[in-house]
Amino acid sequence: MRSGETLFAYSESGGSDAVKITIFGTGYVGLVTGACLADAGHRVLCVDVDEDKVCRLQAGHVPIYEPGLEELVARNSREGRLAFTASAADGVGFGVLQVIAVGTPSDEDGSADLSHVLAVARTVGEHLDGYRVIVNKSTVPVGTADRVREEVSAVLAARGEELSFDVCSNPEFLKEGAAIEDFTRGARIIVGTESERVRELMRECYAPYNRHHEKLMFMDVRSAELTKYAANAMLATKISFMNEMANLAERLGADIEEVRKGIGSDPRIGYHFIYPGCGYGGSCFPKDVRALERTAREVDYQASILSAVEEVNARQKASLFEKLSSALGGVSGKTIALWGLAFKPQTDDMREAPSRALMEAVWNAGGRVRAYDPEAMDECRRLYGERTDLALTGDRGEAVEGADALVVCTEWKEFRVVDFDWLRSTLASPVLIDGRNIYDPEAARSAGLRYFGIGRP
């Protein structure tokens, strides 16, 4: 029996089109990818160096919040298509496809930290015993596939082995909160390779999600690597551009929401990603914009737009505190109610979330925060621990009771409808900072609230 087989719930050969796949990394990308490929009928073994995390996954505990993911993992584990291990040897021995889905956080200089990616490459080289395709799904700078190939080759040379392998790029395009839908019904599947053998294996891998129309796009590796960064940078640019326009609208007495409708009606622009707000966050946009700008500098090119995108976003996150402090005449000794901690709805991810910039500014100015989020409360506790100037409440009503102002940072559905008369009577002072423009300013002001939105007069 091949290494890793005994980890599955029961031995199943699968259909004739089933592919054995190993995924290194059980974070957001790795876990969603593994669960979705297993659900399509493939046999998937997920590898992680964190043994406690592996034990929790084997017991059915999914460490991240993503709609539908826990059920998907449980079903495919139970039915023998998905398994988890901390053994790299088992992982390399199992799948013909070796998928790298580990993190690439920002280094101090803004570049992508490839230490985890290259560590996996060395691990594969140490245990390789036959042909494998190393599939890079992590978001990485252009040229990383070459570095992965060099790492594996160096380890094989040290072993005195000459074994065949290929490296390809297969970037992910998953939105947190809609990742399963994006994986199963995504607009495109990009594979960077020059090898026909790799093309055939990747066609088999994605065949269940490529039946209705051709979504597979094959290109050279470097183009595939750049495509991922370019896509995220373009979306981040749209957000920062709208926030720039919002700031201009405030100063000109225009309403950015009317402007948004006007420009969005142009099919060349469209309505996606042109919603003004308090800035973007998460694990992708901030990191990827910085990494791409750093890559440009490495090839002696000044990517002025990318620099401006990040600068505008940082300024936009700071604008919430500026509006709040101005409205209250300072926040020292004040209690600020906060609705929404996650960087966007349908996730518990608080990485680089606008809420964090706001809370930390309030604390630095001597204020207190009372916050509620439908999913991110545990993540907030993990990040900040127990502190006297932070209270995490059981519902949105408890958060605003007697607070000096309410700030909305995340547009969860349960925040979209509110009785403004109730809100006015519940707050100690009638200040509402709408960081996502989800409320009608006139309705809020008619109830006696001092309403402050983004880009609204």
Lookup result for tokens 């139970």: 78
Count Cα atoms within 13 angstroms, Cβ side, for 235: 15
Question: Please, is 440 exposed, middle or buried when counting C-beta atoms within 10 Å of its C-beta (0-12, 13-18, 19+)?
Answer: middle
Q: 379: how many CB neighbours lie within 10 A of its CB? A: 20
**Under 8 Å CB-to-CB from 156, ≥6 apart: which residues?**
125, 128, 162, 163
DSSP 8-state code for residue 209: G
pLDDT tens for the chain, 457 residues: list them: 445 666 765 555 455 568 999 999 999 999 999 999 999 999 999 999 999 999 999 999 999 999 999 999 999 999 999 999 999 999 999 999 999 999 998 887 888 899 999 999 999 999 999 999 999 999 999 999 999 999 999 999 999 999 999 999 999 999 999 999 999 999 999 999 999 999 999 999 999 998 878 899 999 999 999 999 999 999 999 999 999 999 999 999 999 999 999 999 999 999 999 999 999 999 899 999 999 999 999 999 999 999 999 999 999 999 999 999 999 999 999 999 999 999 999 999 999 999 999 999 999 999 999 999 999 999 999 999 999 999 999 999 999 999 999 999 999 999 999 999 999 999 999 999 999 999 999 999 999 999 999 999 8
Helices 304-328 & 354-364 angle (0-180, nearest 10): 50
Residue type, position 283, single letter: S
pTM for the complete prediction? Answer: 0.90
| Residue-level pLDDT at 133 | 98
**Under 8 Å CB-to-CB from 103, ≥6 apart: which residues?**
25, 27, 116, 138
Query: Max CA-CA distance within the chain?
Result: 78
**Beta carbons of 226 and 145 less than 8 angstroms apart:** no
Buried (b) or exposed (e) across 16-37, using 16+ Cβ within 10 A? eebbbbbbbbbbbbbbbbbbbb
List, in sequence order, every residue forming a beta bridge with 44; answer none if it has no partner: 21, 82
DSSP 8-state code for residue 106: B
CA distance 298 to 289: 14
| Residue-level pLDDT at 155 | 98
Strand order in the sheet with 431-434: 390-392, 368-372, 335-339, 405-408, 431-434, 450-452
Structure tokens at 145: 């596939």
**Beta carbons of 145 and 169 less than 8 angstroms apart:** yes
DSSP 8-state code for residue 175: P
With residue 250 as reference, give the H or E element that holds it. helix 221-252
Nearest to 170, CA basis, from 242, 223, 234: 223
| Residue-level pLDDT at 13 | 47
Q: How far is CA 399 from the centre of its chain?
A: 27
| Residue-level pLDDT at 12 | 52
Q: Is 316 left (phi over 0), alpha (psi -120 to 50) or beta?
A: alpha
Q: 199: how many CB neighbours lie within 10 A of its CB? A: 15
Structure tokens at 26: 């059980």
Lookup result for tokens 């699968």: 14
Structure tokens at 272: 């996606």
With residue 179 as reference, give the H or E element that holds it. helix 179-185
**Under 8 Å CB-to-CB from 116, ≥6 apart: which residues?**
25, 102, 103, 104, 138
CA-based R_g, the chain, Å: 24
Catalytic residue set: 284
Helices then strands, each counted (H, E), the chain: 18, 14
| Residue-level pLDDT at 3 | 58
Nearest to 367, CA basis, from 384, 391, 350: 391
Q: Is 57 helix (H, G, I), strand (E, B) or coil?
A: helix
Q: What is the DSSP string of 276-338?
A: --S---SSSHHHHHHHHHHHHHHTT---HHHHHHHHHHHHHHHHHHHHHHHHHT--TT-EEEE
Q: 414: how many CB neighbours lie within 10 A of its CB? A: 13
Q: How far is CA 173 from CA 162, 179, 264, 326, 335, in A?
A: 35, 8, 23, 39, 39
With residue 240 as reference, give the H or E element that holds it. helix 221-252
Structure tokens at 292: 């791409």
| Residue-level pLDDT at 1 | 40
CA distance 173 to 189: 9
CA distance 63 to 115: 23
